[in-house]
Chain A
Amino acid sequence: MWIDYIKLKNFRQYKDEKITFAPPEKDKNFTVLQGANGSGKTNLVNAITWCLYGEELRSDKKYEGLPIYNTAAFEELELGEKCEVEVEIQMIEASGHKMLLTRSQEFRKLEQLSASSDKSTFTMMRLLGREWTNVIDPSYVLSRLIPKSIERYFFFDGERLDDYFKKATGEDIKEAVFDVSQLNLLEKMIEHLTKMKSKYFSECKGLSPLAEELRQKLQIRQRSLKEGMEQLGTSKKERDEAEEKEEEYSRKLKAASISDIRKLEEDRSQLEKDMRTLEDQIESYESEKLDLLVAFHPLVVLHEPLFSIKELISKRTEAGDIPPDYKRNFLEKLLEKRRCICGTDLSKEDEHRKQIRKAMEDCDAISDISAELITTNAKVSSMLDDLRHFQPKRIKLGKMINDLRKRRETKNRQMREIAEKIGQCDVDQIRFWDSKRLEWKGVRDEKISEIARMELKISETKNEISATEEALKKEMRKQKEYEERLEKLNFCDKSLNAARRVKDEIMANVREEVEDRTRKEFFDLIWKKETYRDVTIDDNYNVSVMHQSGRHARGTLSAGERQVLALAFMAALNSVSGFDVPIIIDTPLARLSSEPKKNIAMNLPNYLKGKQVTLLVTEEEYTREVRERLANRVGREHLISFKETGIGNLAKVVPL
């Protein structure tokens, strides 16, 4: 499915515009819309989400709190007259069928600046043959085509992508994989079964004093789990909010009129970035060192038994017992079968049989495990050889960690010096912004540790709940009349386990698919193909980029490389989701300096072949070089020209 055109009428700065898009066929599947900051790029994405879901889902600070109608058009109205806001999107499905999605809302002018409106209306029409047919339940049909829960993997903000992989935890990645797995039905089933279980347990009233105590405990713990989960959600939101605020004040300081302050804040931001990288590197080396210690622990601690088994096996080898001439159990079998492999009859107690018996008596029992002993000896020898590498490896890692710690200390000192200098500034506004930035940083740090504590508590509560449930079931088993309820509970448990297993299996499959696609897209886009070896998403949904040396490199990726990883991940989610939806990326290259911008642009034509891709870019992003590199893939190029008038802003879309 792809967007053929979008018509915007009185939507924010668009008074009456039609934008056409390049079809995904052939190679020219890219549409580029270039516009300055504030010209209407983000509002174009907002127009799409408003049309589809009745909501603007991207924040555009410049327009926050303002009505969605075009204020210039509204100004021209007489009191009591109506202004209609309408966004119409024509899409073409893979089958070639046209589909027209329209949302409109009327605003009546009451006074100079106020308006009343009814709810917006949404229609969907399909061109079947030569006739346009109204779709009866448009919101439902749309939810099967482009579910709102996953729209952010189709229409995404490129500028935020870098942040995404700077901050994304395994949990965030898991959430994204869950979103595209579309497991809502299974989730509802799990929810329902859990409710049923609580119901059956609550029916145990009066079973026995102990059961009553357990039942009450269970209720308290379930309540506490529910509250804990809610609090966790709130705390995560508060952490994100604090982070936003901290960044907002940092941006203000960076834009301050005093150049020294601007410089100091920029340095501080850079230092913070460096600190994060250093922290990641230290953590990665420390974990490598712990792995080394754990791997060598049995070798070092059990060196005596290892030296000793090697010695014993060597002695037996020197004595000629290993490898043996015959295996004892081989000779035993010949006697049992009463026939030698050469065909000689061994059924009588004659010389042949006696000879075999003698050979068997001479043969040691360990001849039966001689092959195992040979392998053990080889393995032990190689382990003892490995012991030689213990100290050099340990010392090397320790040195690396120490060097990084020293660098971190230096950066820390530099940050303290900057904080002191900014704090001594004689401009009240600067000191205010700085104190606010610090205040929000404190809130963020506090929230981060609060979240960790909550997660631990939640996991403990879950364990307590299952232990209490088991104890309660044990009590129920003692009474015959609870047999049926117990059966129902066991059925719920089995079904819950099955539903969770299916959910985990599907998610694991989707995770693997996302991993494969991310890897492919990453290596298609990255310019340093020799530097990295692999991209993986582990069982805990942690995304890792492996350096050729085998070390995890995610913490040390540059902004450009992180952007590539995020673009690759988004493309993977998009393709694995199974939804055939075009992709729109708002400012994909905005935060990058010229070199990574050039590098990404060089490989961007490889991105999402066969999909319709729309890039919303600024002039600074869409440099001559970037434009030249993309030229072969761009089917449409538009310029959003923008002017501010006394009565509102107006955007025109013209060919670039």
Chain B
Amino acid sequence: MTSEKGPDRFYINREDRKDYERLLDRDSPFRDKENKDLFIMAMAVGYTEGNKTRLKKREGFFRESYLDDRDRAIIYALAVAEKGNLNVLLDKSEVFSIAEEYAAGGIKLLKDKAFSGEYGSCARKLETELVEIFDKKIANRLRQADKTA
């Protein structure tokens, strides 16, 4: 699956670059991650917190071709959820913008998650957060899906 006729890269706010770079420092829990992984995490955080920020001074962050099918599916899902229909996927610029704005709204929160508290506590907090969402909202849905199947 490749995205056709869309922009060739994802952009971030120029002022956010240092936050992304901070997340790749050696004391960061995400130090060995790629730009696109951080972007998707920031985007997910922004979406959950309902935080969307327009890009002011934008600059390129990574090429679209670095995404794999899984990454693309996540970004598409977010855009569809935002607009409520599949037609948004016809306009890749719009899809990218939605992703970029949520990432811009989530990057600072992601940085806070990574560095607040003692070293190593980020993984614990992330785990607690994911387990809570999973138990409350996903486990039942998966069970129901199994029953239907």
Name B1's contact: one of A290, A305, A372 (CB within 8 Å).
A372
A297 to B87, CA, bound (A): 26
Question: Interface segment, A34-42, A238-246, A345-353, A374-382?
Answer: A374-382
Contacts of B76 in A (CB 8 A): 309, 376
A272 to B66, CA, bound (A): 44
Residue in chain B with minimal CB distance to A374: B1
Say whether A300 contacts B134, CB under 8 Å. Answer: yes
Say whether B127 contacts A293, CB under 8 Å. Answer: yes
Contacts of A365 in B (CB 8 A): 87, 90
A391 touches B (CB below 8 Å)? yes
Say whether B41 contacts A286, CB under 8 Å. Answer: no
One digit per residue, 1 when the CB lies within 8 angstroms of any chain B CB and 0 when it does not, for chain A 319-354 equals 000000000000000000000000000000000000
One digit per residue, 1 when the CB lies within 8 angstroms of any chain B CB and 0 when it does not, for chain A 587-627 equals 00000000000000000000000000000000000000000
Say whether A293 contacts B123, CB under 8 Å. Answer: yes
Contacts of B70 in A (CB 8 A): 379, 383
Say whether B137 contacts A312, CB under 8 Å. Answer: no
Number of A residues contacting the other chain (C-beta, 8 Å)?
41
B45 touches A (CB below 8 Å)? yes
One digit per residue, 1 when the CB lies within 8 angstroms of any chain A CB and 0 when it does not, for chain B 46-84 equals 011000000000000000000001101110111011000
Name A312's contact: one of B48, B72, B80, B120 (CB within 8 Å).
B80
Contacts of B147 in A (CB 8 A): none
Contacts of B130 in A (CB 8 A): 293, 296-297, 300-301, 390
Say whether B138 contacts A366, CB under 8 Å. Answer: no
Say whether B44 contacts A301, CB under 8 Å. Answer: yes
> With A309-B80, A388-B142 in contact, do A298 and B90 touch (Cβ < 8 Å)?
no
In whole Å, how far is B54's beta carbon from the nearest beta carbon of chain A? 21
Interface of B is mostly: helix
Residues of B18-57 whose CB lies within 8 A of A: 26-27, 29-30, 33, 37, 40-41, 43-45, 47-48
A371 to B3, CA, bound (A): 11
> With A293-B123, A376-B1, A394-B131 in contact, do A298 and B44 touch (Cβ < 8 Å)?
yes
Contacts of A379 in B (CB 8 A): 1, 69-70, 72-73
Say whether B90 contacts A297, CB under 8 Å. Answer: no
In whole Å, how far is A376's beta carbon from the nearest beta carbon of chain B? 5
Name A304's contact: one of B72, B81, B120, B139 (CB within 8 Å).
B81
A406 to B33, CA, bound (A): 30
A308 touches B (CB below 8 Å)? yes
Name B77's contact: one of A300, A306, A388 (CB within 8 Å).
A306
Say whether A303 contacts B41, CB under 8 Å. Answer: no
A390 to B2, CA, bound (A): 27
Contacts of A113 in B (CB 8 A): none
Residue in chain A with minimal CB distance to B30: A294
Say whether A375 contacts B1, CB under 8 Å. Answer: yes
> With A372-B89, A375-B69, A379-B1 in contact, do A298 and B137 touch (Cβ < 8 Å)?
no
A151 touches B (CB below 8 Å)? no
A557 touches B (CB below 8 Å)? no
Name B123's contact: one of A286, A309, A380 (CB within 8 Å).
A286
Say whether A309 contacts B81, CB under 8 Å. Answer: yes
Contacts of B37 in A (CB 8 A): 294
Name B86's contact: one of A307, A316, A388, A390 (CB within 8 Å).
A316
Contacts of B77 in A (CB 8 A): 302, 305-306, 308-309, 376, 380
In whole Å, how far is B27's beta carbon from the nearest beta carbon of chain A? 8
Contacts of B73 in A (CB 8 A): 306, 309, 376, 379-380, 383
A294 to B39, CA, bound (A): 12
Residue in chain A with minimal CB distance to B81: A305
Contacts of A297 in B (CB 8 A): 41, 44, 126, 130
Say whether A290 contacts B123, CB under 8 Å. Answer: yes
Say whether B29 contacts A376, CB under 8 Å. Answer: no
B14 touches A (CB below 8 Å)? no
Say whether B86 contacts A303, CB under 8 Å. Answer: no
Contacts of A302 in B (CB 8 A): 44, 47-48, 74, 77-78, 81
Contacts of B116 in A (CB 8 A): none
In whole Å, how far is B72's beta carbon from the nearest beta carbon of chain A? 7
> With A309-B77, A366-B86 in contact, do A301 and B133 touch (Cβ < 8 Å)?
yes
A384 to B131, CA, bound (A): 15
Say whether B26 contacts A456, CB under 8 Å. Answer: yes
Contacts of A316 in B (CB 8 A): 86
Contacts of A296 in B (CB 8 A): 130
Contacts of A373 in B (CB 8 A): 86, 89
Contacts of A383 in B (CB 8 A): 70, 73-74
Contacts of B45 in A (CB 8 A): 301
> With A300-B134, A372-B1 in contact, do A294 and B33 touch (Cβ < 8 Å)?
yes
Known A293-B130, A303-B138, A387-B142; 9 more pairs at CB < 8 Å: A290-B126, A294-B37, A296-B130, A301-B47, A301-B133, A304-B81, A307-B141, A309-B73, A383-B74
7 pairs, CB–CB < 8 Å, chain A vs chain B: A299-B74, A302-B74, A309-B73, A373-B89, A379-B70, A379-B73, A384-B145
Q: Identify the A interface with B (CB < 8 A).
A: 286, 289-290, 293-294, 296-309, 312-313, 316, 365-366, 368-369, 371-373, 375-376, 379-380, 383-384, 387-388, 390-391, 394, 456
The 5 closest A-B pairs by CB, nearest first: A305-B81, A375-B1, A305-B77, A379-B73, A309-B77
Q: Identify the B interface with A (CB < 8 A).
A: 1, 3-4, 26-27, 29-30, 33, 37, 40-41, 43-45, 47-48, 69-70, 72-74, 76-78, 80-81, 85-87, 89-90, 120, 123, 126-127, 130-131, 133-134, 137-139, 141-142, 145
